[in-house]
Amino acid sequence: MSDNLIIEVQKTGDGRTLATVNGKLYTLLAGYDDSRAGGWFFLAVAGRTPLKAEDLAEHWQVVRSGPVTLAFAQRPFSYHLAQGEGSEPPYGCDWPRLKAPPYHYTFVGPTPEAVETQVLLALEQYRPDLAPDEVLERAIRVPDEAGRGPDALLIQM
C-alpha cells in the first residue's frame, strides 16, 4: 500500500458504515483490507463526490456507475496483449504468468458462492494440479469492513 493512501472507517448510529478516503467522505458498501494483500485491495463506495484513481494509491482501477464506485488494487501484475503488436513478453517473463507473483491472490464477490467459484475457475485454468478443497480449506478469510458482504479469500497458489 502506498503511504499516500489513508482510509478511515467508522460506523454511524443509523447502521451505515462511512469511509474517509484521503479526506473525502463516502458510504462504504464493501471494503477489504489485509496486510498480507498489501493493505486495502477492494472498495465499493457511494457518494456525491466521485472517487477517482488519483484519489487512491498507485495501481488502482476505478469503475463508476451512477453514485457507486468500485475500486480494485492491481499490484504487482504484468500485463500483455494476447496478440498483435506488443504481445511479446519482456525478457525473462514466463508469460502469461506474473513477473513477480503476489504472495496471495485475492478473490472478492457479491456472494460466498461467487467468491468460491472464482477460486475454482482460477485453479482450473492456472493450477489444475492443486486440490480445490485443500486450497479453499487453507484460504485466508478477510471480512468485509462494511459488514455486509461475504469474506474475501486470499489464496496461495
The model's confidence at residue 142, banded by pLDDT at 50, 70 and 90, is: very high
pLDDT of residue 57: 83
- Sheet with 140-142, side-by-side order of all strands: 105-107, 152-155, 140-142
Q: Is the pLDDT of residue 149 over 50?
A: yes
pLDDT of residue 105: 85
User: Average pLDDT, stretch 116-120?
Assistant: 94
**Which residues, including other chains, have CB under 8 Å from residue 110's CB and lie 6 or more apart?**
149, 150
Which of 14-18, 75-79, 88-92 comes out lowest in average pLDDT?
A: 75-79
DSSP the chain: --TT--EEEEE-TTS-EEEEETTEEEEEEEEEEEGGGTEEEEEEEE-SSPP-GGGS-TTEEEEEETTEEEEEE--S-----SSSTT-SPPTT--TTS-SS--SSEEE--SSHHHHHHHHHHHHHHH-TTS-HHHHHHHPEEE--TTSSSPPEEEE--
